[in-house]
Structures are given as structure tokens and as C-alpha cells.
Structure 1
């Protein structure tokens, strides 16, 4: 089973206006016996959230490329968290808090997902969402804030050829009408069919920069994998 993939991260108008960096990060890479997609959203109130999100993507890849696909979930998460802490150097974890969404799919189509904090992971067969909302905004859990395995949402499912996996930050997921998430992802897959990777990325970046929700401010990051 092979994978076609597309990933894009676009800085939000709010961060552009304030001269801040994009605090989202995304990584899609081949790993032994499968593929890995990671999407992370740094907590905007933290001074090094952009570094935290970038290093979280890297930590997930560095750990997952060295372990067996059937590694126990708690052990995997503990390794990723420790690797992330080590990668921060002199920075404190509390200054680099980030959400972390991980999709790890084997060459036989078995999918494992791991999520801490806001955002959305969905497939053609199932949607899983973890959202911690309150009136103050930007208050969520994530790497650097929680050390509890119970704060992670972990799933496993078997996919087939033609199925889609998508990971997105809440800058996208919160603006999609509930129940329309898969239709949104499928429309992107259809609209980019036949385009080169470069053309598809340019088209999707343009869509995100001209986002239909009035007064949107947040960074927008999406990774899509299609099993073929």
C-alpha cells in the first residue's frame, strides 16, 4: 500500500499583524514499514511555542522511525515527550507548550493515532476530536503542560485503499461546520487531483490565506494522506 500526501502550513493574519512567527508545524515522512504525519500547534501565549511545535514534530519522527509499529502506546508517548524535552535545550517546557497530533500508518493500512490538545484527526471511517475550550482562548493542554497519559487520545483502526487520513489545527477545524469535516477534506483531495505537489500546495495555501470565516486570525495547518 502506498501513500499520496499533501501538507501545508499558513501563518494567520493575527500573527502577521503582530510580527509573530507561524506557531504551527507539520511533518509528513516515510518511516520503516509505513508513513508518519505530525501536526503541532504552539500555544500562542508562550514565548517559544513556535520552537516547541517544530521540535515536537521532529521528536515524534526521531522516535517512531526507531521503534516497532506495535510498541505500547504509553511507552511511545513517554519516549516522544522525553525526546521533546531534551531537544529544547535551555528552554523550559512551559515556554514551549504545543499540541501534538500524530498519525502513524503501516504499509498494511493499520493506523495508530495519538493526540494531546486541540485540533482534529479524521479518517474516511472515523473522526476523533479532542478540544478543551473556554472563554479565554489559548488555554488548552499540550506537551509541556501535561505529563499525564490520560490527557492523550489514542486510537487504532484498519484502513483500506482509497481511505483518507487528515490532521488539522484548530485554526481550521473550529471553522468547519460540525459533521462536514470529511466533506471538507474530500473536496481538497478532489480539487488537487491531477495537480503536481507544487501546484497543489500553492492552491491550498491560497485557499487558507483567503479563508471564508470573517475576522479569522489563527495559523492554519493541514496534512492529508490518501492510501493507494
Structure 2
């Protein structure tokens, strides 16, 4: 089965600013393997929101629930899935209000031969193809943007704010997802190289070794003055070409 080819890793570290302020890590990530496929999600709770850490965890769980429904309804289109993620999130943030829990949401859902990608708000998704022609990036070029507004899960469902893509899993080696604590520090032209190097570094390592090394370099982030939480996750094909 195709899903047996895939595995995942990820890590999240709290930003120096939040450590000083005594604020919890507002990022979340989760990855799960099911009999029918794999799901990987990262989410960044908006810093100005009182319960954004709760909102980001709810976003990850909301995607899992939607993916389970998705694999049972093959005729569903992507907007149906996004609407379901949004509805699930509103349920899972209880007892808090949506205005206190706003969070971004980036996901990869692999079901049989298709990987569905979705991105709401800041952060980056990089899909590494078997060849350069199959590479795909979903991200903002922050260097060209002066807006501080971040799209996020909130009370109203706004499908036009989502960026989505579907790719054939046979043409893909890995999907790297990260919050803006990482992607904002990467030049746009370096984003794919960054993802490729990560995949090459960790493709053949054991999960515990990967987790230790990820935490180490996230905590030693080399950009001066960085302050944000940092979260990264990867869905990768075992034994894929490097």
C-alpha cells in the first residue's frame, strides 16, 4: 500500500521572547499514520490572542477529523474539506471563543496516490518532487509585503483565504511544513534548498535521532534577534531518491 511508504518527523521549540514573558509555545504540530494514509499539520497561534496555544492544538486535531471524513467521501472537493476543518476547529476550541484562539493552519493529507496541501496564513509548505519540475512551494514572500495582517482560523469561514494544491504522491519525495518563525528567516530563493537539505539529512535516520537533532538546531537558530516560536514537520517517502 502506498501509505506504508511514508513516514513523518517534526519538532517545535518556544521562542526566546515567549520564554522571557512566561508565555507558552503558541505553535503546534501533529502527525498521524492511518490505515488509509498519513496526515501532517503545523499551526501557529496568533500572538495577540489569549488562548492561541489552545487554538493551534485545535487546528491540528480539526485537520485529523476532516481527513478521516475525507477518506470516506472520495467525491468531496477541497472546499468541503476546508469547511469541515473550520467547523471542527470551532467545536474543539470550546470553551474559549474564536476571537481568543485564532491560528494559522498548514497541512498535508496523503490518501492513496494523492497528497492534498492546504495553507491558511503565514508559514511555508514545500513539496519536493522526484525531479525539479515537480517541486512546489506555498509561501508568502514577506520581503515584498508590508502588511501585518495574518489570515487565520476565526469565526467566519473564508475559503478564498486558503491556498491549496494537490500532487501525485508518486511524483513527490517529501512535504516540509513550517511556521513563520522559520520561513520568515529564509530568503524566498533559499526555501526549496532548505527543505531539500532537511530531507536529505533526515531521510535515513531513526526518529529519536531526528527529534534530538531538530530540537538542537531550532534552539540554536542562527538568525540574530530571532524571537518567535519555531515549528517544522515533514511527511517523507522512505527510500526516496536524494
Q: TM-score scaled to structure 2, two decimals?
A: 0.86
> Structure 2 unaligned runs (5+)?
129-134
| 3-state SS, counterpart of residue 233 of structure 2 | strand
Q: Is the 8 A contact 2:90 2:155 kept in 1?
A: no
* Correspondent of 1:9 among 5, 9, 12: 12
CA distance in 1, matches of 2:56, 2:159: 19
| 3-state SS, counterpart of residue 27 of structure 1 | strand
Q: Where does residue 99 of structure 2 map in the other structure?
A: 94
CA distance in 1, matches of 2:177, 2:32: 14
Q: Where does residue 48 of structure 1 map in the other structure?
A: 51
Q: Is the 8 A contact 1:31 1:64 kept in 2?
A: no
* Correspondent of 2:86 among 58, 77, 81: 81
CA distance in 2, matches of 1:80, 1:192: 30
Q: Where does residue 131 of structure 2 map in the other structure?
A: none
* Correspondent of 1:36 among 35, 39, 49: 39
Q: Is the 8 A contact 1:160 1:227 kept in 2?
A: no
Runs of 4+ that moved beyond 6 A: none
Query: Of Structure 1 and Structure 2, which has the larger fraction of its residues in helix?
Result: 2
1:48-90 superposed Cα distances (whole Å, 9 cap, x missing partner): 0000000110011022113335521111111111111111223
Q: Is the 8 A contact 2:126 2:195 kept in 1?
A: no
* Correspondent of 1:182 among 176, 192, 209: 192
Change (3 A) 1:118 1:48: same
1:172-218 superposed Cα distances (whole Å, 9 cap, x missing partner): 01111222112212222233344321111111111011011101001
1:70-123 superposed Cα distances (whole Å, 9 cap, x missing partner): 521111111111111111223110100000001111232x11111110111111
> Structure 1 unaligned runs (5+)?
none
Query: What pairs up with 1:5-154 in 2 under 5 angstroms?
Result: 5-68=8-71, 69-108=74-113, 110-124=114-128, 125-130=135-140, 133-134=145-146, 137=148, 139-144=149-154, 147-154=157-164
CA distance in 2, matches of 1:50, 1:30: 24
| 3-state SS, counterpart of residue 170 of structure 2 | coil
